[in-house]
Structure 1
């Protein structure tokens, strides 16, 4: 499934569309039934992202919660009208391994239906909340294929205390011998016997920008592969409400360098070529 290295290989820019109070690490302290009453900041943060992408002439993939789409249909249509891909992040940010097969099927079918009806485009992609597909629930890929998805981006091939499948392939692969579904993992760089995260999230805020740039360049130049990068709208929002009682590790991971994220994204989008997941990966050379 290797790609031919072009003069400037396009990487996939992806956004996980969820609000600050829906983060999995906050789940023990923020009840789901309190979500509707919490101040939502998603619209303003999405507008900042859309403006940046418009300025850079970039199209991206927005993995969107069905819960968000239902409440902000105008925002969803704004994303679609700007030429971006709408993909599914599930309905209510339930991790895949928290559900049995029937519940998971209901979740991914419901979210796909909502997004297609409101966004006006076919939904081909899915990303599990918190990269919650791994060795223990690979059956989820069968469900996704049956539900009509063409690709997933749900496995992060690293070691992490909340998720990860380090033994998984680093680049596009077909899980469980599936003929119609690609798994497109978040980008990593192989260093010694371990995979180093190179595809965004908290690592992008933690590590110096120069290192993140070097790792992505290595994926493009040495591996000849398109990188897959992700971030969240709340990562551009240092003024977001801060729930009390969060553990120190959670506070560190969530709030570190939020004030620097906008500038780093501006550099990242200028330093590399970017496009939507479907345009990069749903092509003949990945068939």
Structure 2
């Protein structure tokens, strides 16, 4: 039975804390590139994630932002220093699975193995419990809700894997817009990416390509509207490759994939700087699990 989670309440005199999140993966691992880039070629490709993470961690340190980093096991295994820097800077380390396989493309047994191996690897390197998970491409929905049970059995406390929007690659528009328990309060907490409701439809308002495509003022207005009118934290996400306009550009990409990946990528870092100034931010676990 679906139950909405209690709304996080800010301390007296404080602004609502919003959740800043980053999906730690490299440019060649995005789902939109899967038809064009063979997974077997990943180890031979130029990796940019370490330098991009240094820029992001520096930006967050300058602005006093604490965030949650949903990190691929594939990245952690090859760049353990990135994981250690995340933890040392006071951020939350969370799981993005091991190899960026969509949950919807895995059997239940394959998914269980993926989330458990990634959790164990991240905890071994980071030295802290991994409580959160985000499925690649928000690939948990009405057809594979069993994945939430597997996450709970594997020791996760929350997921951020169901996006309540209509999209050609993902989405469960009938899902609640704010944090909820899909199977009751003794189950896993699901925390959707932020949307605003206009004319009866949920519109994306929490990052990704939409944030790069839309004017910054509109994105800021939508997140502020959620804080002001819904009284809820906004949940924002982005990727390290989005702050890297100099990344390699693979040949043969389809027009849609190329547009989605590269639109306004040269403006992204400045926009995140603006977000850091315009809103109060914190880690997912601090906001939604009532951690100090």
TM-score class, shorter-chain normalisation, is over 0.9
Which residue of the partner structure matches residue 182 of structure 1?
A: 189
Distance 2:238 2:141 in 1: 21
- Give the drift of 1:180: 3.2
1:3 equivalent to 2:8? Answer: yes
Which residue of the partner structure matches residue 264 of structure 2?
A: 257
- Give the drift of 1:279: 0.2
- Give the drift of 1:2: 2.1
Counterpart of 2:143 in 1: which secondary structure? helix
Which of structure 1's runs of 4+ aligned residues deviate more than 4 A?
none
Distance 1:178 1:108 in 2: 22
Which residue of the partner structure matches residue 247 of structure 1?
A: 254
Q: Contact 2:21/2:68 (CA < 8 Å) preserved in 1? A: yes
Distance 2:44 2:255 in 1: 26
- Give the drift of 1:171: 0.3
Q: CA RMSD in A?
A: 1.0
- Give the drift of 1:192: 1.4
Q: Contact 2:8/2:288 (CA < 8 Å) preserved in 1? A: no
Which runs of 5 or more structure 1 residues have no equivalent in the other structure?
none
Q: Contact 1:138/1:176 (CA < 8 Å) preserved in 2? A: no
1:73 equivalent to 2:80? Answer: yes
Instruction: Choose which of 195, 199, 202 in structure 2 pairs with 1:195.
Output: 202
**Compared CA separation, residues 86 and 5, structure 1 to 2 (3 A):** closer
Distance 1:183 1:75 in 2: 26
Q: Contact 1:12/1:226 (CA < 8 Å) preserved in 2? A: yes
TM-score of the superposition, structure 1-length normalised?
Answer: 0.97
Which residue of the partner structure matches residue 150 of structure 1?
A: 157
Which runs of 5 or more structure 2 residues have no equivalent in the other structure?
1-5
Instruction: Choose which of 30, 41, 44 in structure 2 pairs with 1:34.
Output: 41
Which residue of the partner structure matches residue 280 of structure 1?
A: 287
- Give the drift of 1:56: 0.4
Instruction: Choose which of 113, 120, 124 in structure 1 pairs with 2:120.
Output: 113
Q: May I ask how many residue pairs the two structures share in their alignment?
A: 284
- Give the drift of 1:176: 2.8
Counterpart of 1:30 in 2: which secondary structure? coil
